[in-house]
């Protein structure tokens, strides 16, 4: 299990292509009554869907798009504490692993970490925030786990742990890991500019008895990594065109995170 599974709801703000009241009704029907969704607000004029939920943004987006409408996550956070920060890391590596992981400081004490990572072998994989946002030598130059208090490696529920210790995420048989975690040590304002790394093997949470257990969790090579960048919170992303390569919001939805499918070698905007 990757850390403490979250039961704290947050608001997800989606831009959704809608043209008529029938669109609203169809989206509302697939979201209402779903376990983990607390409330739904849909604005046809602004093509906006707000969902209060404990589900991941990917799960909610899949539900919305099951109606045949395209959806883009524009922001996430708390409706009552809108000024707390949000961040995103776009993960890639030399192999097939890639993904997007988002961080939202939902309260002063609670950080929500949620994401989707593809290309993993089925099973558990260690996930950690690392000290440096340096990708000059791929994931090798990210440094060690974020550990400002000089503690031993541990599990996310342990008092004695690195701040960056997020435990494990579980990849299903389709090689995709979808997760949503709640962490009380991680603070978004402390990790912007650092990096997030997913490992090849299970993190033993410091309990494996191996020489690396109390240092790294003995979780093997670093498969993919990405710099943690500030991103849009709720209602902070009004743009319709991606500044990095000039594509519209909806064209951006259909493009890969990175690679030859993009018009530019620039990284995509963290706000999208």
How many residues does the structure list for the chain? 272
> Which of 28, 61, 53 shows the shortest CA–CA distance to 43?
28
Question: In 10 A of CB 2, how many CB atoms?
Answer: 22
**pLDDT of amino acid 121:** 97
Give me the domains of the chain, ranges plus CATH numbers. 86-230 (2.60.40.200)
Task: Provide the Cα torsion 9, 15, 17, 22; round to 10°.
Answer: 40
pLDDT category of residue 240 using cuts at 50, 70 and 90: very low
CA distance 104 to 87: 7
**pLDDT of amino acid 265:** 35
pLDDT category of residue 272 using cuts at 50, 70 and 90: very low
Q: Measured between alpha carbons, how far is residue 127 from residues 109, 116, 155, 228 in Å?
A: 20, 12, 11, 14
**pLDDT of amino acid 3:** 46
pLDDT category of residue 2 using cuts at 50, 70 and 90: very low
pLDDT category of residue 77 using cuts at 50, 70 and 90: confident
- Whether residue 124 has pLDDT greater than 90: yes
Kindly state the average pLDDT of the residues 20-44: 95
- Whether residue 81 has pLDDT greater than 90: no
238 vs 147, higher pLDDT: 147
């Amino acid at each position: 299990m990757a850390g403490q599974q979250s039961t704290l709801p947050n608001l997800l703000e989606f831009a959704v292509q809608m043209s008529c009241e029938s669109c609203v009704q169809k989206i509302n029907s697939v979201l209402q009554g779903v376990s983990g969704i607390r409330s739904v607000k849909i604005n046809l004029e602004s093509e906006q869907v707000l969902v209060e939920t404990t589900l991941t943004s990917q799960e909610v987006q899949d539900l919305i798009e099951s109606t045949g409408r395209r959806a883009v996550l524009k922001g996430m956070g708390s409706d009552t504490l809108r000024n707390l920060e949000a961040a995103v890391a776009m993960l890639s590596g030399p192999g097939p692993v890639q993904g997007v992981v988002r961080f939202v400081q939902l309260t002063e004490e609670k950080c929500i970490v949620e994401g989707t990572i593809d290309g993993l072998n089925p099973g558990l994989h260690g996930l950690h925030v690392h000290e440096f946002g340096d990708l000059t030598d791929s994931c090798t130059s990210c440094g060690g786990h974020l550990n400002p208090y000089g503690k031993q490696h541990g599990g996310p529920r342990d008092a004695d742990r690195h701040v960056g210790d997020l435990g494990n995420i579980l990849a299903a048989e389709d090689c995709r890991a979808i997760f949503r975690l709640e962490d009380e040590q991680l603070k978004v304002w402390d990790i912007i500019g650092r990096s997030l790394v997913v490992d090849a093997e299970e993190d033993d949470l410091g309990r494996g008895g191996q020489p690396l257990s109390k240092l790294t969790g003995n979780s093997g090579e670093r498969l993919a990594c990405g710099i943690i960048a500030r991103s849009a919170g709720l209602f902070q992303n009004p743009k319709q065109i991606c500044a990095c390569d000039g594509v519209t919001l909806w064209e951006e939805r259909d493009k890969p995170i990175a690679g030859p499918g993009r018009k530019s070698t620039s990284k995509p905007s963290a706000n999208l």
